[in-house]
């Protein structure tokens, strides 16, 4: 049956790979691929990596919906031939590439979520053959590259960190070069600055689960993947929704000792995310990338201060404390807040369990809703350069009046790469082959 037998039966996962995994198989990289003529560049980047002590498999899922137009099907078939030829030429003991072809995914679900799930479920099946719940599934993209120490740093982090269930991997979009027009590099510079500012601002509120959710830059243990029901089938944002389930359940950290390089290219395949934003920028539908006002995070900081204190308050004290919160928070939550505090208290025996449930309720989804709400009534969105400078100066990092977006991005990259952001919840069991 193995550790994942029930999961595999429930999701009706059958093997799409002929030969069994190596006995020391411990790491799988999963790559969804739709209309990606440059896939082999990403495969080459992985193949050039320093070899870890474990066996590694790369699962590529070339996919399209059942109603895909002919040009997409032709592109995928061409990619399939090239990828299969490339895999035959580069497979070696302990480092193998498996190319899966899924040309008719149900139109209702077809997208990066289902493609990623298809590959990750195959990884689970193969880890289950070895009964290896501590095996690691790494999420990558077909237009992404990485540093040569990528695989060994993933192995080292999990080997040296007991109870680890998942990791963010440090990333940098290319912000200069000749592959794309200058407008693309300007757009991705502003967009990555927004991403880093947004996460850093949330971290400074005291929220414990603020991590980047980049589809090509995370990894998770097989046990954690199975425990949370696997990857979802969303057409966009699958990485965000998946990680919001994974991050709170165990020990989650960052791998900042290596780097992945996601593509900055414009894309219209999904309605939101990096490619969609860059496409709007290049087409002139947005002139610049704006973001949330730094002051909007102040209400959250006051709300998140010592959440366990709510546990020891009676109803009248809860109401009194609620009335002292900023108007933005009170307006957003309304009476639901007091009712929710009572509900959480009734299901908890200790301040620690109360705090865990509080964060399950006021999670990243609710933070996003709060920020969108207050920017309809209390704040105006501001250019990302302005927001980044206000935040850095307000948090004591110095004065940055003359820094442009690229200079500010460099500062945020340095802060987040040199910092160590980690959460620990319940310890999880996982195995590591000797």
Please give the C-alpha separations between residue 92 and each of 1, 358, 419, in angstroms, as whole numbers. 29, 49, 37
Average pLDDT (275-286) is: 88
Condensed to tens digits (0 to 9), the pLDDT of residues 182-205 reads: 999 999 999 999 999 999 999 999
Q: What is the pLDDT of residue 52?
A: 99
Q: What is the pLDDT of residue 431?
A: 32
Q: What is the pLDDT of residue 428?
A: 31
Mean residue pLDDT of the chain comes to 94
Domains of the chain: 5-13+23-288 (3.90.550.10), 296-377 (no CATH)
- DSSP assignment of 37-50, as one string? TTHHHHHHHHHTSP
Q: What is the pLDDT of residue 353?
A: 96
Condensed to tens digits (0 to 9), the pLDDT of residues 131-158 reads: 999 999 999 999 999 999 999 999 999 9
> What is the band of 420 on the pLDDT scale with cuts at 50, 70, 90?
low
Where is 330: in which H helix or E strand?
Answer: helix 327-333
Q: What is the pLDDT of residue 424?
A: 53
Average pLDDT (274-281) is: 88
> What is the band of 400 on the pLDDT scale with cuts at 50, 70, 90?
confident
Structure tokens at 288: 């610049």
C-alpha 330/C-alpha 429 separation (Å) is: 41
Condensed to tens digits (0 to 9), the pLDDT of residues 1-13 reads: 799 999 999 999 9
Asked whether residue 433 carries a pLDDT value surpassing 50, the answer given is no
Q: How far is CA 259 from the centre of its chain?
A: 14
* C-alpha torsion sign, points 105, 109, 111, 116: negative
* C-alpha torsion sign, points 124, 125, 131, 136: negative
Asked whether residue 283 carries a pLDDT value surpassing 60, the answer given is yes
Q: What is the pLDDT of residue 220?
A: 99
Q: What is the pLDDT of residue 382?
A: 98
Asked whether residue 238 carries a pLDDT value surpassing 50, the answer given is yes
> What is the band of 248 on the pLDDT scale with cuts at 50, 70, 90?
very high
Structure tokens at 370: 């709060």
Cβ distance 390 to 399 under 8 Å?
Answer: no
**Burial zone of 360 (CB within 10 Å; 0-12 exposed, 13-18 middle, 19+ buried):** exposed
């Amino acid at each position: 049956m193995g550790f994942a037998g029930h999961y595999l039966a429930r999701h009706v996962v059958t093997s799409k790979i002929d030969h069994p995994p190596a006995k020391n198989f411990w790491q799988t990289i999963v790559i969804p691929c739709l209309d990606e003529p440059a896939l082999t560049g990403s495969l080459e980047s992985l193949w050039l990596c320093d070899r870890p002590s474990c066996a590694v498999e790369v699962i590529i899922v070339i996919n399209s919906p059942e109603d895909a137009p002919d040009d997409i099907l032709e592109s995928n078939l061409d990619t399939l031939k090239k990828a299969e030829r490339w895999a035959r030429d580069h497979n070696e003991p302990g480092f193998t590439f498996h190319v899966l072809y899924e040309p008719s995914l149900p139109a209702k679900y077809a997208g990066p979520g289902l493609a990623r799930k298809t590959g990750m479920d195959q990884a689970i099946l193969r880890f289950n053959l070895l009964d290896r719940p501590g095996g690691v599934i790494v999420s990558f993209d077909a237009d992404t590259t990485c540093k040569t120490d990528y695989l060994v740093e993933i192995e080292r982090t999990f080997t040296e960190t007991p109870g680890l269930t998942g990791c963010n991997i440090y990333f940098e979009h290319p912000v200069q070069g000749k592959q794309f027009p200058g407008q693309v590099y300007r757009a991705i510079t502003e967009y990555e600055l927004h991403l880093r500012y947004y996460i850093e601002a949330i971290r400074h509120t005291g929220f414990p689960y603020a991590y980047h959710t980049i589809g090509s830059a995370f990894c998770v243990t097989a046990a954690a993947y199975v425990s949370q029901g696997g990857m979802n089938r969303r057409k966009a944002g699958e990485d965000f929704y998946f990680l919001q389930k994974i991050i709170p359940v165990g020990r989650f950290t960052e791998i900042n000792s290596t780097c992945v390089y996601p593509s900055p290219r414009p894309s219209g395949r999904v309605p939101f995310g990096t490619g969609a934003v860059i496409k709007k920028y290049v087409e002139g539908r947005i002139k610049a990338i704006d973001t949330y006002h730094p002051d909007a995070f102040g209400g959250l900081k006051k709300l998140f201060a010592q959440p366990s204190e709510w546990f020891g308050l009676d109803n009248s004290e809860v109401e009194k404390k609620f009335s002292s919160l900023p108007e933005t928070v009170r307006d957003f939550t309304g009476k639901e807040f007091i009712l929710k505090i009572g509900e959480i208290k009734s299901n908890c025996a200790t301040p620690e369990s109360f705090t865990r449930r509080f964060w399950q309720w006021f999670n990243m989804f609710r933070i996003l809703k709060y920020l969108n709400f207050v920017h309809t009534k209390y704040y105006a969105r501001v250019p990302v350069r302005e927001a980044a400078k206000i935040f850095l100066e307000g948090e004591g990092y110095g004065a940055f009046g003359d820094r442009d977006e690229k200079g500010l991005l460099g500062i945020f990259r340095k802060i987040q790469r040199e910092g160590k952001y980690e959460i620990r919840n319940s310890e999880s069991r996982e195995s590591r082959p000797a």
